C-alpha cells in the first residue's frame, strides 16, 4: 500500500454516505465547531464467546438516549432510526471481528449565527478497543481518585441529561488538574458540593453490602452502564439505591468503582488518599465485572 492509497478498513458513514474516515470532515465554519452544537454516543462492539462475530451492546438504549440529547439540544433528527442497520453495514464494510468502540455523532454542519436553524449530519465510525488499563490482561489495578473542586454544570447551565460536547469542557479541566496532582482521575461535585460523576463515567460506592450512586437529580448523565448495574444488582443478591452522596461517603466506602461504555469498569482504591476499605478484594465490584463480561460475550 502506498501513502496515498486508502485503508479499506476505515470506512465510516458520514452525512448520508459512506466514505474514508479521512474524508469525514466537519466545516470549520459550521455550528458544531463555532458553538459546540454536537451530541454523540459511544457504543461497545463485543466479540461473541463463540467467535461468530461481534454485536453492539445495549445499542437500543444508546439510540434512545441520542434521541433525548437531540431534543434537549434542539438539533433535528437526521434519521437515527437507521443506526442499527448502519452499524451492521459498518461492521461488514470494515471486517470488524473483535472488540471495538463505535462513535455515533450528530453535528450541526451549517454555518450561521448562534440561533441559526440546524442542518444535522450523522456520523458513525469504529475504532479497535479492548480493555482499559484497570482490567487489561486480567489486571485489577485500582484508581486513585481526587474529589475535584470543579463542578459539573447544573441543568440551568446546560441539560445534564444531554450527552453533548458542551458538557465535557469543564470535566476535561478537572481531569487535567487531577492528573497534574498525581491522581489517576477525579470525581466532580455539583453546585451543592455533593458527589456527582467522573468526567466520562458514573460513580458507585459500596457500603455495608449496598450499592450507592448519585441520583440523576444530582446533575448526573443518565449513563447506560449505570442503568445496567442498577438493573443487575438484585440478580447478584445486592440492593442498590440512587441517593445523595458527599465527600465523607467516599472516604468511608467499603468499595468503589467507576463505570461507563468506554471505560467499562475501573475499581477505585482511594479518594484523596483515603483508602477504600475492601481494596483489593472488592467482592461486589468483582461480581459485577464478571457478570458484565458474561453478558456481553453471550
Residue 166: φ, ψ to 5° = -60, -25
163 catalytically annotated: yes
Of the candidates 82, 132, 163, 179, the residue annotated as catalytic is 163
Contact by Cβ (8 Å): 153, 30? no
CA atoms of 47 and 242, how far apart (whole Å):
32
DSSP state of 16: T
Contact by Cβ (8 Å): 240, 232? no
Which three three-digit cell numbers place residue 37?
Answer: 452544537
40, exposed or middle or buried, with CB in 10 Å at 0-12, 13-18, 19+?
middle
Helices (H), 201-258: 224-232, 247-251
Contact by Cβ (8 Å): 96, 45? yes
Which three three-digit cell numbers place residue 20?
Answer: 474514508
Contact by Cβ (8 Å): 73, 80? no
| CA-CA-CA-CA torsion sign (219, 225, 228, 232) | negative
Helices (H), 21-143: 31-35, 59-72, 83-94
Residues with a catalytic annotation lie at 163
Amino acid at each position: 500500500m502506498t501513502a496515498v492509497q486508502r485503508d479499506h478498513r476505515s470506512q465510516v458513514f458520514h452525512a448520508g454516505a459512506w466514505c474514508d474516515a479521512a474524508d469525514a470532515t466537519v466545516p470549520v465554519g459550521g455550528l458544531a465547531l463555532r458553538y459546540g452544537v454536537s451530541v454523540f454516543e459511544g457504543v461497545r462492539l463485543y466479540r461473541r464467546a463463540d467467535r461468530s462475530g461481534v454485536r453492539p451492546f445495549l445499542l437500543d438504549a444508546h439510540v434512545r438516549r441520542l434521541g433525548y440529547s437531540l431534543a434537549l439540544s434542539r438539533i433535528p433528527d437526521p434519521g437515527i432510526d437507521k443506526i442499527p442497520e448502519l452499524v451492521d453495514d459498518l461492521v461488514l464494510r470494515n471486517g470488524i471481528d473483535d472488540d471495538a468502540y463505535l462513535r455515533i455523532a450528530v453535528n450541526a454542519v451549517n454555518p450561521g449565527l448562534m440561533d441559526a436553524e440546524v442542518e444535522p449530519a450523522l456520523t458513525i465510525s469504529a475504532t479497535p478497543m479492548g480493555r482499559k488499563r484497570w482490567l487489561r490482561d486480567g489486571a485489577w489495578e485500582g484508581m486513585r481518585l481526587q474529589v475535584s473542586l470543579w463542578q459539573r454544570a447544573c441543568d440551568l447551565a446546560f441539560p445534564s441529561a444531554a450527552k453533548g460536547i458542551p458538557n465535557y469542557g469543564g470535566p476535561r479541566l478537572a481531569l487535567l488538574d487531577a492528573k497534574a496532582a498525581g491522581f489517576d482521575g477525579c470525581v466532580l461535585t455539583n453546585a451543592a458540593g455533593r458527589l456527582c460523576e467522573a468526567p466520562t463515567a458514573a460513580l458507585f460506592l459500596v457500603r455495608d453490602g449496598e450499592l450507592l450512586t448519585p441520583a440523576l437529580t444530582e446533575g448526573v448523565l443518565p449513563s447506560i452502564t449505570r442503568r445496567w448495574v442498577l438493573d443487575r444488582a438484585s440478580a447478584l443478591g445486592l440492593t442498590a439505591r440512587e441517593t445523595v452522596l458527599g465527600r465523607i461517603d467516599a472516604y468511608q466506602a467499603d468499595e468503589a468503582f467507576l463505570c461507563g461504555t468506554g471505560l467499562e469498569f475501573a475499581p477505585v482504591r482511594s479518594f484523596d488518599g483515603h483508602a477504600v476499605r475492601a481494596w483489593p478484594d472488592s467482592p461486589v465490584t468483582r461480581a459485577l465485572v464478571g457478570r458484565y463480561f458474561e453478558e456481553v460475550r453471550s
